[in-house]
Chain A
Amino acid sequence: MNFDRFLAMAIKEIIQIKRDARSIAIVIAMPVIMMLAFGYGVSFDTKHIPLYLLDQEKSQQSQDFLKHFQASEYFNVVKTVDSYREVVEAIDRGDCQMAVVVPFDFSLKLAAGQPVGIQAIVNGTDSNSANLGMSYGEAVVSSYAQGLQVAWLQRRGQIRVAPPLSLDARTWYNENLESMATIVPGVVAMVMAVVGTFLTSLTIAREWERGTMEQLVSTPVTRMEIMLGKLAPYLVIGLFDTCLCAALGVWWFGVPFRSQLWIFLLSTVLFILVVLSMGYFLSVVGKNQMAASQLALVATFLPAFLLSGFIYPIDQMPAAVQVVTHLVPARYFMFILRNVFLKGTPLSLMWQDVAGLALFAVVLTILATRAFKKRID
């Protein structure tokens, strides 16, 4: 390892990045766009379910009841219609996800003390939001029913009316149970897995394609110097990108950051080394920029998306799949980042995951260096 030759590679790489509009776009725009796309796109909270209302009675009481749906933030009342046919059409067309129908004898039956059925029609093609819609609907109805009951009991002389049991839940780390808080750290890990691999996936392939490799390998530069010289600038860029993503998470999406900065930086450096080496390896193997960048997307995006615990909790996966997730570096980084952002866990409680990343970093950098041959045959 000769420092001058390493420096020669690194400086050359920096100038190339600086002068290539496309790599600037990858460096700045790609992480920001991915952060925003995933931050807004992958929300697990279902709010504002589009709702149609059909009031067959149109009494003061039925209108009063439906106001509770209008007031709920979980529903977005698109339209109040007059016929059943319009409800069916709206669900068919996808104008609404759910419809609530108040029967024509609503207030009469209530006054007579008879039970009233409120009909809810739900579009079951998206079972997740259908389920949520039904339980939100049930909550609205039962709170209205409870209100009626309390009023009825009070009229009959009962002064103190309170339910005998209640769950007093206290949520830690993510006080408002916003899925954004879980998603954003995951998105940061995923964006960096993709961007990091992508950054280096082009470098070696580009030298082959432009014909500069032949002359480069005829010089005394060693493959270690080539590898480190190419990685060093991207390590800085990757670190910058991760901080950019984290900053977006904290100041744009309002996710807390509860850890010490150095734990975040340490694990970020390790993870970036992992993904950069992976991209470098793919670039050596792929030998052309197109193949290398596509390999990079497949090799990072899918595992990081599916097997890192980002979308599906790892402990809910089948045992065999859980074993496989240990081979996905994003899994460790995802776990560390969630702790870093939400919990502020000290390093001593998650050193296994940091060590896992470090192991991957060492193995992959060696593998990538070895894969490259200073030969053109």
Chain B
Amino acid sequence: MKEGESPIAVRGLTKSFPGVRAVDGLTFSVERGEIFGLVGPDGAGKTTTMRMLAGVLTPEAGEVRVAGCDLVKDPEGAKQRVSYMPQRFGLYEELTVDENIRFYARLFQVKGKACEERAARLLAGAGMSEFRGRLAGKLSGGMKQKLGLVCALIHTPEVILLDEPTNGVDPVSRREFWAILYSLLGEGVSILTTTSYLDEAERCHRIALLHEGRLLFCDTPAALKANFAGQVLSIVTGDPRPVASLLEGRPGVGSVMVVGDGLHVVVDDPARVAQLKNELAAAGVTASIEAVAPTVEDLFVEAVRRGKG
């Protein structure tokens, strides 16, 4: 890798599957010592992007440079210096924790004392030292993900690609997981992760919002929040759909989204609560309204709406 080159540099990356353009002209880069989050709903193209960066999916168009290697020309070239943790648990359930670690260590030719020391340190960091003899299939969801991370880190990679690493993981394990990620930054690695949790997105140095394969927004979480000027209101009511059409297009109302048995409505000012209550009452609808913190979906829907507007 040349001096000053970004460990991950993507330009115009495109990939189509029959009937759908999963990734459409994506451009971004990730620097050393940075945690970069790809954020977006299911189907936004996060996993497809990850797979192309990991060298397991062939890009259709665009440039991908990972750890100084051009993956379009040489998809195998970066694999020794990259680690990839797919969304689906990729470890062998009939192997123990130790056996899985040793398997990945051998694949990356990490041997002897160096391997032992690194494994011990990573396991201790993951709080898993006493589970070394347990079958991977018998671990809890959070522990499986932590083991996946330990295996992915055994060869001290320069670039770490994590696809929804904390999906379905309990909050405590999620915190530990992020603690491990932060501790790695000292080694000068670059971490690219996907997430659909907003609180996790906020822990990234920078995030990119992905929608239908395109990049909507790419900046720090603080800038994203600043960009999101409105207030999200959660409206709980018996039948949300007619209420949604009632509210759409009202003054001060941005996007309206049905969430479960209620609505998420973006308004320009928290003071709109009283106005909306009156309007609903006038239409004979009983509903409770409260201001909530924006979820990742709210950010999206609003970003998509503005993008169209």
Binds B, one of A7-15, A49-57, A155-163, A290-298: A7-15
A221 touches B56 (CB 8 A): no
| Cβ-closest chain A residue relative to B60 | A377
By a CB distance below 8 angstroms, the chain A residues around B92 are 12, 15-16, 210, 212
| Cβ-closest chain A residue relative to B109 | A4
How far, in angstroms, from A8 to B111 measured CA to CA in the complex? 12
How far, in angstroms, from A343 to B99 measured CA to CA in the complex? 48
| Cβ-closest chain A residue relative to B86 | A214
In the complex, chain B residues 71-116 whose Cβ is within 8 Å of any chain A Cβ: 75-76, 79-80, 82-86, 88-95, 99, 102-104, 106-109, 111
How far, in angstroms, from A2 to B99 measured CA to CA in the complex? 20
By a CB distance below 8 angstroms, the chain A residues around B75 are 374-375
B55 adjacent to chain A (CB < 8 Å): yes
B292 adjacent to chain A (CB < 8 Å): no
Smallest Cβ distance from B133 to chain A, in angstroms?
A: 13
B54 adjacent to chain A (CB < 8 Å): yes
A362 adjacent to chain B (CB < 8 Å): no
A214-B94 contact, Cβ under 8 Å, with A219-B79, A220-B76, A220-B108: no
Smallest Cβ distance from B149 to chain A, in angstroms?
A: 12
Smallest Cβ distance from A232 to chain B, in angstroms?
A: 14
How far, in angstroms, from A220 to B102 measured CA to CA in the complex? 15
Smallest Cβ distance from A231 to chain B, in angstroms?
A: 17
Smallest Cβ distance from A48 to chain B, in angstroms?
A: 49
By a CB distance below 8 angstroms, the chain A residues around B88 are 211, 214
A375-B57 contact, Cβ under 8 Å, with A215-B86, A220-B79: yes
By a CB distance below 8 angstroms, the chain B residues around A16 are 92, 94-95
B94 touches A215 (CB 8 A): no
B95 touches A375 (CB 8 A): no
| Cβ-closest chain A residue relative to B55 | A218
B58 adjacent to chain A (CB < 8 Å): yes
By a CB distance below 8 angstroms, the chain A residues around B80 are 220
How far, in angstroms, from A354 to B131 measured CA to CA in the complex? 51
Chain A window 19-43, contacts with chain B (Cβ cutoff 8 Å), 1 for yes, 0 for no: 1100000000000000000000000
B90 touches A211 (CB 8 A): yes
In the complex, chain A residues 218-244 whose Cβ is within 8 Å of any chain B Cβ: 218-221
Smallest Cβ distance from B288 to chain A, in angstroms?
A: 42
By a CB distance below 8 angstroms, the chain B residues around A210 are 92-93
B21 adjacent to chain A (CB < 8 Å): no
Identify A5's interface contact among B84, B90, B109, CB under 8 A.
Answer: B109
A217 adjacent to chain B (CB < 8 Å): yes
By a CB distance below 8 angstroms, the chain B residues around A7 are 106
By a CB distance below 8 angstroms, the chain A residues around B90 are 211-212, 214-216
B32 adjacent to chain A (CB < 8 Å): no
By a CB distance below 8 angstroms, the chain B residues around A376 are 51, 56-57
In the complex, chain B residues 43-78 whose Cβ is within 8 Å of any chain A Cβ: 51, 54-58, 75-76
A4 touches B111 (CB 8 A): yes
By a CB distance below 8 angstroms, the chain A residues around B108 are 219-220
Contact size range, B: 20 to 34
By a CB distance below 8 angstroms, the chain A residues around B57 are 375-377
Which residue, B54, B56, B76, B95, has most C-beta atoms of chain A within 10 A?
B56
Smallest Cβ distance from B193 to chain A, in angstroms?
A: 15
How far, in angstroms, from A216 to B56 measured CA to CA in the complex? 10
In the complex, chain A residues 359-377 whose Cβ is within 8 Å of any chain B Cβ: 374-377
| Cβ-closest chain A residue relative to B59 | A377
How far, in angstroms, from A20 to B57 measured CA to CA in the complex? 31
How far, in angstroms, from A2 to B107 measured CA to CA in the complex? 9
Smallest Cβ distance from B40 to chain A, in angstroms?
A: 20
How far, in angstroms, from A214 to B50 measured CA to CA in the complex? 11
Identify B58's interface contact among A216, A219, A377, CB under 8 A.
Answer: A377
In the complex, chain A residues 57-84 whose Cβ is within 8 Å of any chain B Cβ: none
| Cβ-closest chain B residue relative to A212 | B90
Identify B56's interface contact among A11, A212, A374, CB under 8 A.
Answer: A374
Smallest Cβ distance from A8 to chain B, in angstroms?
A: 3
A215-B106 contact, Cβ under 8 Å, with A15-B94, A220-B79: no
A20-B55 contact, Cβ under 8 Å, with A4-B109, A220-B108: no
By a CB distance below 8 angstroms, the chain A residues around B85 are 215
Identify B86's interface contact among A211, A374, A375, CB under 8 A.
Answer: A211
A218-B94 contact, Cβ under 8 Å, with A211-B88, A375-B56, A377-B57: no
By a CB distance below 8 angstroms, the chain B residues around A212 are 90-92
Smallest Cβ distance from B116 to chain A, in angstroms?
A: 16
State the A residues within 8 Å of B (CB).
2, 4-5, 7-8, 11-12, 15-16, 19-20, 210-212, 214-221, 374-377
The 8 closest A-B pairs by CB, nearest first: A215-B90, A8-B106, A211-B88, A218-B84, A19-B94, A214-B86, A220-B79, A218-B54
State the B residues within 8 Å of A (CB).
51, 54-58, 75-76, 79-80, 82-86, 88-95, 99, 102-104, 106-109, 111
Besides the known contacts A8-B107, A220-B107, A220-B108, 10 further A-B residue pairs in the complex with CB atoms under 8 A apart: A4-B111, A8-B104, A211-B88, A214-B90, A215-B85, A216-B90, A218-B82, A220-B79, A220-B80, A376-B56
| A/B interface sample: 27 pairs, CB < 8 A | A2-B109, A8-B102, A12-B92, A12-B95, A15-B99, A19-B95, A20-B94, A210-B93, A211-B86, A211-B90, A212-B90, A212-B91, A214-B56, A215-B91, A218-B79, A218-B83, A218-B86, A219-B79, A219-B104, A219-B108, A220-B76, A220-B80, A220-B107, A220-B108, A375-B75, A376-B57, A377-B58
